[in-house]
Amino acid sequence: MPGGAHKINAKPLAPTLEPIARGVWLMRGGLPKRTMNVYLLVDGGGVTMFDAGISDMAKPLGEVAERMGGLKRVVLSHSHADHRGAAPGLGAPVYCHPDEVADAEGDGGLHYFDLTKLDSPVMQRAYPHLLKLWDGGPVSVAGTLSEGEDVAGFEVKHLPGHAPGLIGLWREEDRLALVSDTLYTLDPDSFLTPYGPPRVPHPAFTPAREQARESLRKVAALDPREVWSGHARPVTGDVRRQLEHAADTT
Ligand SMILES: [Zn+2]
Ligand SMILES: [Zn+2]
């Protein structure tokens, strides 16, 4: 029956949600390869979201947060389009570092991106469209979070460089670090073979790369067991050595 076949084909993909540690769930989203990472942290009877991915993740994120007891707040690691994208559509108070407020309420850091630093002409042409597609627009910041403050059992770490107010979350108890774009495990300049070892984020999107290296060394010095970033795969194994190597050589 044609109608039946159509229904099967039109069935939406279930959002991928995976547990990565006690009280921490990861939702991957975005095209083309689900490389946008959003972390849902069990927080009292509800959930705190660390980053908000891209705009079209708002619906699945909202539904999942509802099933987890309701969304208490969104904490942005930084203001870039692929991190604040779904935030305006979620209807929860948004928090970020004081140094990130202006860009979160403004252009999402666009004013310091330099796409001419991308080697690939294809990516140079694609990014203005992608960023527009991903962004949900300016957010209204309800409050700020600085170094040492608590977020759902994690400690805020200020990791500037890729963005002035970039923050990561650190949990000593199981030595878990959620560091967003403090490092990349993919190459935004490559479409075909994007994945690789950790590296300092790409210069096209990183206004202060020396500072970004220092922030990566700051994460390494915590000697994490596992580091999860804003995109794609985590860093596991000999994490400290890999991060120091990335800071020294990339
Ligand atoms: Zn970023
Ligand atoms: Zn990013």
Question: Can you give the pLDDT at residue 192?
Answer: 62
85 alpha carbon to ligand 2 midpoint, in Å? Answer: 11
All residues with CB under 5 Å from ion ligand 2: 82, 181, 230
Q: Looking at the predicted structure, is the pLDDT value of residue 13 above 50?
A: no
pLDDT tier at 191 (50, 70, 90 boundaries)? low
In angstroms, what is the span from residue 184 Cα to ligand 1's centroid?
9
Using the predicted structure, report yes or no on whether residue 163 has a pLDDT greater than 70.
Answer: yes
Task: Tell me, in angstroms, the distance from the centre of ligand 2 to residue 8's CA.
Answer: 33
Indicate whether 4 pLDDT > 50: no
pLDDT digits (tens, 9 = 90+) for 80-130: 999 999 999 999 999 999 999 999 999 999 999 999 999 999 999 999 999
The span from the CA of 163 to the CA of 157, in Å, is: 13
**Closest of 164, 159, 202, 165 to residue 182, by C-alpha:** 159
193, pLDDT greater than 50 = yes
Which ligand has the minimum distance to the alpha carbon of residue 204? Answer: 1
Instruction: Find the 120 Cα to ligand 1 centroid distance in Å.
Output: 19
Whole-number Å distance, alpha carbon 10 to ligand 1 midpoint, is: 33
The pLDDT, as a whole number, for residue 33 is: 78
Is the CB of residue 130 less than 8 Å from the CB of residue 110? no
Residues with Cβ within 8 Å of residue 156, at least 6 apart in sequence: 97, 145, 146, 147, 148, 149, 150, 167, 168, 169, 170
Whole-number Å distance, alpha carbon 26 to ligand 1 midpoint, is 18
| Cα 222 to middle of ligand 2, angstroms | 22
d(CA 115, ligand 2 centre) in Å? 14
Among the bound ligands, the one closest to the CA of 163? 1
